[in-house]
Chain A
Amino acid sequence: MDALEIARWQFGITTVYHFMMVPLTIGLGLVVAVIQTMWHRTGKPEYLRMTKFWGKLFLINFIMGVATGIVQEFQFGMAWSEYSRFVGDVFGAPLAMEALLAFFVESTFLGLWIFGWKQLKPAVHLACLWIAVIGSAFSAYFIIVANSWMQHPVGVEMINGRPVMTDAWAVFTNNTALVAVPHTLFGALAVAGAFLLGIAWYHLWRRRHDGIDTIGADGKVIPGEAAIPGRDRTDHAVWIRSLRIGAVVAMISFAGTALTGDLQGKLMFEQQPMKMAAAEAACHDGTGFSILSVGNVGSKNCDDVVAVIEVPGILSFLAKGDFTTEVRGVNSLLDQYKADYGTNLPDNPIYGDRAGQEIQYVPVMEVTYWGFRMMIGFGGVAALAALAALWVTRKGTVPASRGLMRLAVFGILAPFGANAAGWIFTEMGRQPFVVAPNPDLSGIDQVFMFTAAAVSPGVSAGELLTSLVVLTAVYAVLLVVEVKLLVKYIRGGVVAAMPELAHVPADENEDATPRDGGPGKPGGTDDVLAFAY
C-alpha cells in the first residue's frame, strides 16, 4: 500500500475512535453538571446518587478521550509534515489555543472535581465541574475552527506559496465553524441523551424483573424496596428521572442538530458543491432529493448511478430554501474542477510518486451518499425512540419486556453512529483536497492543498504501517477494556459509584449523612482523600 493511503486510514481510524469518546465526554459532562446543580439546590438524595453514578461513567470514558487526543496532535507533524508546513501559520494557532485556553482548564478543574469532594466547599466543587464542562466546549470550538479552515480557508494571504494569517477574526469567526460548533455540541448531547435513556431503562426494567417495583391497579408504578444497598425507593427516582432527562435531551439535541445541520448544508452547497452533489449521488443538475439511489459498486462513472426514489424540489430546499433552483450535479461540477485545478497532479516533488496521476475530483460516492443518510437516519431514529420512551414510561416505569429493554440499550449506539457517519461524510466528501478551495472567493482562490501533497515525504510506508497496526491494536484492546468497565459499573448500579451506600444502616439514607458524602474510611475523620485511586 501507498504511504498516503496508510496515513489516511490511520488518521480516519484514530479520529473516528477519538470522536466516540469525545461526544460522550462533552454531553455527559454537561448533564452531570446540571444534575449536580439540582442536587445543590434541592438537596434531594436522588440527585446526589445520579451525580455520582453518571459521574463515574463520565470519568471512565473521559480518560479515553484524553489518551487518544494526544495522538491527534502529534499525528499532524508525524504523518502529515508537508501539510503542517503548508498550513502551520494559520492552523497551529487554534491547536495551541485549544491546549492553553481550554484543555488546561478541563484537565485541571476535572482533577479538582474528582478529588475535591471534601476539600472544596460544595458551591466551589460544583463550580469546578461547570468550569471543566465549559472548557470542553471551548476545546471543541478551537478544534472545529482548525477543521473549518480546512473546509473553508479564510483570513489568509498566499505569501511564498504558503497561506499566511492576515485576519485572525476571520479565522476564528469562520461561518463554517460557527455552524459546525453548535452542530457538534448538539451531536454530543444526543449521545448523552441516548446513554442516559438506555441505561436508566435497563435499571428500571431490572427493578421490575427483580420484583422490587410493581404495577398498581391504575397502571402506575409502585416503587418498592429491597434489602440490598442502594435498591430502595430513591433508586427508582434515580432511574426514572435519568430516563426522562435523557429522553428530553435526546429530542432537544436532535432538533438542534437538524436546525444547525440545515444551515451547514446550505453553506456547504456554496463552499463545497462537489461534496453535496456527492452526498446526493446527484450526477446531473436538478432539484430532487434522493431517497434511494443505486449504482454499480466501485464504478467511477457517475452515469451508472440510478435514482430509484426521488422527491422533487427537496434538494433545492435543502440547498437554497426554495423548491425550484437547480442544484449542480457531479458531472457539470467535474468539468469546472478540471478546468480550475487541472486534470493531473502537477509535476512537483511534494507529490512524490503520485506526481502526474489523474485527480479524482468525485469523492467515494458510496461513502458520502450513505454517510449522509446514516447520519440523518440514526439521529432521527434516536429522537423518535426518545419520544416513544417518554410516552411508554408516563406511568413511572418501563414495560417488563426484555426485548424492549435490549432495544433501548442498543439504541445507545445510534447517535454514536450518527456522529461517526457525519464526520466520515464531511471529511471524505472534501477529498481529493485536504484544504478545500473556495469556489466563490476570488481573492484567495489559490489557497488549497491536495491530500496527495500532505503526507510526510521522509516517512516510509513501513513506518506508517507499523503505527497503523500498533495504534489500531492498542485502541481495540482499550475499547474492550472500556466497554467492560462501563458495563460492570452500569450493572453495579448506584452503589458501585457510591460504596458509602453499603456502609450506612438500612433504615437511613444519604439524607442523614453530611452533604459531602465521599467514600472515606467509615467512621474515620480524615479529609485528605475524599476520593482515592
Chain B
Amino acid sequence: MELLPTIWFIAIAVLWTGYLFLEGFDLGVGMLMKGFARNNTERRVLLNTVGPVWDGNEVWLLTAGGATFAAFPLWYASLFSALYLPLLLVLVALIFRAVAFEYRGKVDNPRWRARWDWAISLGSLVAAFGVGAALALTTTGLPINANGDREGGPFAWFSAYAVLGGLAVVGFSLLHGLAFLALKTDGDVRHRARQWFVRLLPVLLLPIAGWAVSLQLLSGEIWTVLAVVAAVVAAVVAWNFARKGAEGRAFLSLGAFLLLGSASIFGAAFPVVLPSTLDPAFNLTISNASSSDYTLGLMTIVACIGLPLVLAYQAWTYWVFRRRVSDAHIPDAHSFLPAIAAKALAPKD
C-alpha cells in the first residue's frame, strides 16, 4: 500500500467531512428559510446566524474539489464528467444561493425578498442533494469504462444510491442547521429549533445511516462497522443533550456523529475511490488514479501549513461572532432616500 496516496485519501475524506460539518449547517439554515422561519424578521435572524461565515464554509467544497484534482486527477475527471448534469444543477443552485445571500436585503421590497428566499432555500436543498448524490455514487459506483468515461448516456449515473445519498446530506444538513440555530439564536427561534431537532432527529438521520450501513454490506471492515455503531451512539447522545437543553453539546455530538459516519463510509470504500459498475477491473483506486509522489509530497507540505491556518482563523471567526442573534438585534430594513429622488428638495440658485 502506498503511503502518500493513502494520506491524500484521508485528506480528501477530511475535507469532505469539514465541508459537510461547516456548510452542512448553513445549507440547513438556508433550507429552513422556508417552512421554519415564520416572517421576515425570523428569516433575517436565520440569515444573520450564517452571514459572516457561509462563504468561508463554501470554500471547503472548492478545496475538496481542487485537492481531488491535484491528488487524484483521474478520480476528479471521471467523477465530474460522469455526473455532468447533476453537477450542473449543483452549480446553478450554488450560484443562486450565493447571490441571494448578498442581494436579498439590498432592495426593500417583499417580492424581491420572496424571490431570493426561494433561491436560498431551493438552492440549499438542490446543492445538498446533489453533493450527497455525488458522494454516495463515488462510494457505490458508476458505469465507467476502461478509460474512466461514463457509458450509457447522460442519465446512466442514476441509481437508488444517488437518491439515498442525496437524502442523506439533505437530512443531515437540516438537522445540523436546527442544531446550529438552537445554538446561535435566542427567543422563539431557538426554542423551536431545539424542539424540531428532538422530534426530527430519527427521521433526518435515517438516510445517512442507510447509506453507511449499505456500504458496510458492500465493502465494510470490522472497524468501519464499529464506527457505524459509535455514530449511532453519538446520535442518541446528541438527541439526549438537545432534550435537556444543552445546545452546545448537542451540536458537538452531532459533529461527532458526522465524523464517525464519514469515517465508516470512506473507510469502507478505501482503497477504491470510484468503483466501476461495469467491471471491477475498471475501478479507480488510490493507486491507479493518483498523482505522482512528487506532487503528493508537495501538496502534503502545503496542506500541513495551510490547513491548520484555515482551522485557526475560521475558529477565530466563530469566536468573534459568537453572540446569539435574535429578533431584537435585527436592524430596520435597509431603506434609503436616493440622492437623485431627493433632487426636488435641493435649493435652486
Whether the pair A460, B153 counts as a contact (CB closer than 8 A) is yes
Q: A226-259 interface mask toward B, CB cutoff 8 Å, 1 = contact, 0 = none?
A: 1111110000000000000000000000000000
Identify which of B142-150, B187-195, B254-262 touches chain A.
Answer: B142-150
Q: In angstroms, how far is the closest chain B Cβ from the Cβ of A463? A: 5
A471 and B345 alpha carbons, distance in the complex (Å): 45
Q: A91-133 interface mask toward B, CB cutoff 8 Å, 1 = contact, 0 = none?
A: 1110111111101110111111011100110000000000000
In the assembled complex, which residues on chain A have CB atoms less than 8 Å from the CB atom of B31?
none
A471 and B76 alpha carbons, distance in the complex (Å): 21
> Assuming A111-B56, A492-B336, is B347 touching A89 (CB within 8 A)?
no
Whether the pair A485, B107 counts as a contact (CB closer than 8 A) is yes
In the assembled complex, which residues on chain A have CB atoms less than 8 Å from the CB atom of B281?
none
Q: A63-98 interface mask toward B, CB cutoff 8 Å, 1 = contact, 0 = none?
A: 110111111011011110110110111111101111
Q: B317-343 interface mask toward A, CB cutoff 8 Å, 1 = contact, 0 = none?
A: 100110111001111101111111011
A81 and B73 alpha carbons, distance in the complex (Å): 9
Whether the pair A229, B73 counts as a contact (CB closer than 8 A) is no
Q: Does B217 interact with chain A (Cβ within 8 Å)?
A: no
A249 and B69 alpha carbons, distance in the complex (Å): 38
Q: Does B160 interact with chain A (Cβ within 8 Å)?
A: no
A90 and B73 alpha carbons, distance in the complex (Å): 10
In the assembled complex, which residues on chain A have CB atoms less than 8 Å from the CB atom of B85?
463, 466-467
Given contacts A79-B84, A165-B294, 16 further A-B contacts (CB under 8 A): A76-B76, A77-B77, A84-B69, A92-B291, A96-B69, A99-B63, A104-B63, A116-B321, A165-B292, A226-B347, A231-B342, A470-B92, A474-B92, A492-B340, A532-B44, A533-B105
A231 and B51 alpha carbons, distance in the complex (Å): 31
Q: Does B80 interact with chain A (Cβ within 8 Å)?
A: yes
Q: Which 3 A-B pairs have the closest CB atoms?
A: A88-B73, A77-B80, A458-B149
Q: Does A529 interact with chain B (Cβ within 8 Å)?
A: yes
Q: Does B210 interact with chain A (Cβ within 8 Å)?
A: no
In the assembled complex, which residues on chain A have CB atoms less than 8 Å from the CB atom of B51?
111, 114-115, 531-533
Give residues in B with beta carbon < 8 Å to A. 44, 47-48, 51-56, 58-59, 61-63, 65-74, 76-85, 87-88, 91-92, 94-96, 98-99, 101-107, 144-145, 147-151, 153-154, 291-292, 294-295, 298-299, 302-303, 306-307, 310, 313-314, 317, 320-321, 323-325, 328-332, 334-340, 342-343, 345-349
Whether the pair B99, A78 counts as a contact (CB closer than 8 A) is no
Q: Does A462 interact with chain B (Cβ within 8 Å)?
A: yes
> Assuming A81-B148, A111-B317, A488-B338, is B345 touching A529 (CB within 8 A)?
no
Q: Does A528 interact with chain B (Cβ within 8 Å)?
A: yes
Q: Does A496 interact with chain B (Cβ within 8 Å)?
A: yes
A308 and B104 alpha carbons, distance in the complex (Å): 54
* Residue in chain A with minimal CB distance to B342: A228
> Assuming A70-B95, A78-B87, A95-B70, is B62 touching A458 (CB within 8 A)?
no
Whether the pair B95, A101 counts as a contact (CB closer than 8 A) is no
A526 and B330 alpha carbons, distance in the complex (Å): 10
Give residues in A with beta carbon < 8 Å to B. 59-60, 62-64, 66-71, 73-74, 76-79, 81-82, 84-85, 87-93, 95-101, 103-105, 107-112, 114-116, 119-120, 159, 164-166, 168, 203, 206, 209-212, 214, 224, 226-231, 349, 456-460, 462-464, 466-467, 470-471, 474, 478, 481, 485, 488-489, 491-493, 495-496, 499, 502, 519-521, 526, 528-529, 531-533
24 contacts between A and B (CB under 8 A): A70-B58, A70-B62, A74-B80, A74-B87, A88-B74, A88-B77, A97-B302, A99-B59, A100-B310, A104-B59, A104-B314, A111-B55, A112-B52, A164-B295, A203-B339, A226-B342, A226-B347, A459-B81, A467-B84, A474-B92, A481-B103, A491-B340, A521-B332, A529-B48
Whether the pair B73, A82 counts as a contact (CB closer than 8 A) is no
Name the contact of A93 in the complex, choosing from B147, B151, B298, B325 (C-beta under 8 A): B298
